[in-house]
Structure 1
Amino acid sequence: MSWEEFFKQNDKLIKHIENQLEDTLYTPNHDEIFYIFKRVPFEKLKVVIIGDQPYSSSADASGVAFACKNNLNTPLLLERIIKELEKSIVKFKPPLNNQLEKWLDEGIFLCNFCFTCPIDDYKFKKTYYLLWEPFINNLVAYISEHTSVVFMLMGYRAITVRTSINEINCSVCEVPHPIYNYYQFKGCNCFQKVR
């Protein structure tokens, strides 16, 4: 089992997505869309955290969910996640930068429901989730069939992939979105549950 095998199995779907994206502006950059697969080897997976979509600024979006290329300003989403980690895990040390490299080294796979985010195309945003839905469902099904991990599904969209997860092999934690449902997210101790 490997990422290479997963991509072979989904070759037609990926080509379809690339065709749909061809004449649109989106983040992250094209060569960063699947960066997370290069960064976290399949055999090292421990936790899969799924968010909503990448940051809308190409200066921030990096191909790793929640991570940010820009180390000067921490996005509100990442800031709230770090605050919750600090409150719920006593020995937690905040990341040295916004790229979350240490988390990736530990086998934490950070992806979004949508691997790209459209820029300035609000009509396309309405159907954007439909474009990525088959890919993310195939991804979580593949992971959960071939390894035992903890899935953290962050927000409404991410929670919809639960039906594709083999819960005999894996455990699942549903979490309110740190931006859209902040008061439910704050103090929910979700990171304590997946520890």
Structure 2
Amino acid sequence: MISAQAAKKQASAYLRDEGSGLSAVHASRDKKHGVWVVGYRDPKQPDETLDGGALVVTDEGEVHSIGSTPDAVDHLMESLGRGPWGAEEGVWSREDESLALLADEDTEEAAGLVALAASRRPWPAVLGEELEKPYFRELMRFIDLERLRGAVYPPPGDMFAAFHLTPYEKVKVVILGQDPYHQPDHASGLCFSVPRDIARLPTSLRNIQAAMVRDGFTPPPHGDLTSWARQDVLLLNTALTVRDAEPNSHAKEWREFTAAVITKLNERRRPIVFVLWGNPAQSTRDLIDEDRHEVITAPHPSARGLAQTQFREAGTFAEVNRRLKALDAGDVDWGIA
């Protein structure tokens, strides 16, 4: 058996080779599997809880990255052919499993690991295969590195908030935007929504409220659209993260994942009303079977000049409810606070 110090040394070398800038800080022995589970931190912010998974170091010196679900080591051992567990399920595959931690002596770091596990599980029962694909794992690694280099919005725990608030089987409307707000404290993981304490609303949200008024709805006295998400409206951006002050900075990296989400929604038998605001959203239109689903388009809410007028006068909210009623799917109370 290698020592804890040797395991940490192997883990540190792995992190260095990956270019992550992180460093191993402690190793806990997993006696069931005969491996070391190594936690890590950002050495530039030693007092901050780091949202992340963990590394497993075997006695042969192999290093493997894992998530923080309770059976993550079991699944790793299975994938390496070292366990008697059933074959198909991946680390992120079971939607209702608890988020207890791997053996970890640091309770503050444990809380961060739990938050990360939740934040990286968008509809695992539906997107499970997608979450195991190399491109998605590379995407998560890219976002982690971006957060080390500078501010990225929204925070890790809100990255997949739209999926957590609106389950796949309940989605009846999809509003597809562009990317999150790129200024501090605005992005919440729901497209166009901001926290309730934001006093001055972004231009796009002010135009949305103006469009609501024109359609006969009274906007709430804030910019938090959580109530829409809880009424089965999926508030999805085509890119789910963005660098501070750099709109569209992560658009390319999220393209494949967003297309997979739209494809899965398109497979739903029960019709969905897709609201595509702006060119990036409308570029996904060819993924939607319009013989089964409804599509409504309009300029992006942040548009200016004539396009802004066209957005406000498009009648989107009234039209969504008209089509929902035609589908016998009820309607949305757009003005609920």
Normalised by the length of structure 2, the TM-score is 0.53
Residue 97 of structure 1 aligns to a residue whose secondary structure is coil
Aligned residue identity for 2:275: M
Within the alignment, does 1:45 sit opposite 2:45 as a pair?
no
Query: Equivalences for 1:4-83 in 2 at 5 Å?
Result: 4-11=124-131, 12=133, 13-24=135-146, 25-69=151-195, 70-83=197-210
Q: Does 1:142 align with 2:264?
A: yes
Deviation at residue 77 of structure 1 after TM alignment: 0.9
Q: How far apart in 2 are the matches of 1:71 and 1:26?
A: 18
**One-letter identity of the residue aligned with 1:164:** L
Percentage of pairs with the same residue: 26
Q: 1:164 maps to which residue?
A: 287
**Partner AA of 1:144 in structure 2:** N
Q: Is the 8 A contact 1:156 1:176 kept in 2?
A: yes
Deviation per residue, 1:95-151 (Å, 9 max, x gap): 2432212211211111111011122568x82xx322111111111110111242100
Provide the aligned C-alpha RMSD in A: 1.9
Q: What corresponds to 1:85 in structure 2?
A: 212
Once residues 100 and 172 of structure 1 are traced to their aligned partners in structure 2, the CA distance between those partners, rounded to angstroms, is: 21
Aligned to 2:231, which of 90, 94, 106? 106
Stretches of structure 2 lacking an aligned partner (at least 5 in a row): 1-94, 96-122, 322-337
Is 1:191 the counterpart of 2:311? The answer is no
d(CA) in 1 for partners of 2:246 and 2:263?
Answer: 30
Higher relative contact order, chain-length normalized (CA < 8 Å, sep 6+): 1
Cα distance in 2, alignment partners of residues 7 and 155 from structure 1: 26
Matched positions, count? 189
Aligned partner letter, 1:104: A
Structure 1: gaps spanning 5 or more residues: none
For residue 152 of structure 1, the aligned residue among 262, 272, 275 is 275
Alignment match, 2:73: none
Q: How does the TM-score come out when normalised to structure 1?
A: 0.88
Query: Computing the radius of gyration over CA atoms, which structure comes out larger, 1 or 2?
Result: 2
One-letter identity of the residue aligned with 2:298: V
CA distance in 2, matches of 1:148, 1:9: 24
Contact persistence 1:35–1:63 (CA under 8 A): yes
The 1-side partners of 2:233 and 2:155 are apart by 22
Structure number having the greater helix percentage: 1
Pair 49,56 (structure 1): closer, same or farther in 2 beyond 3 Å? same
Between the aligned partners of 2:256 and 2:186, the Cα distance in structure 1 is 26
Cross-structure match for 2:252: 130
Query: How far apart, in 1, do the equivalents of 2:290 and 2:144 lie?
Result: 36
Runs of 4+ that moved beyond 4 A: none
Aligned residue type for 2:213 = E
**In structure 1, how many angstroms separate the alpha carbons of the residues matched to 2:275 and 2:225?**
17
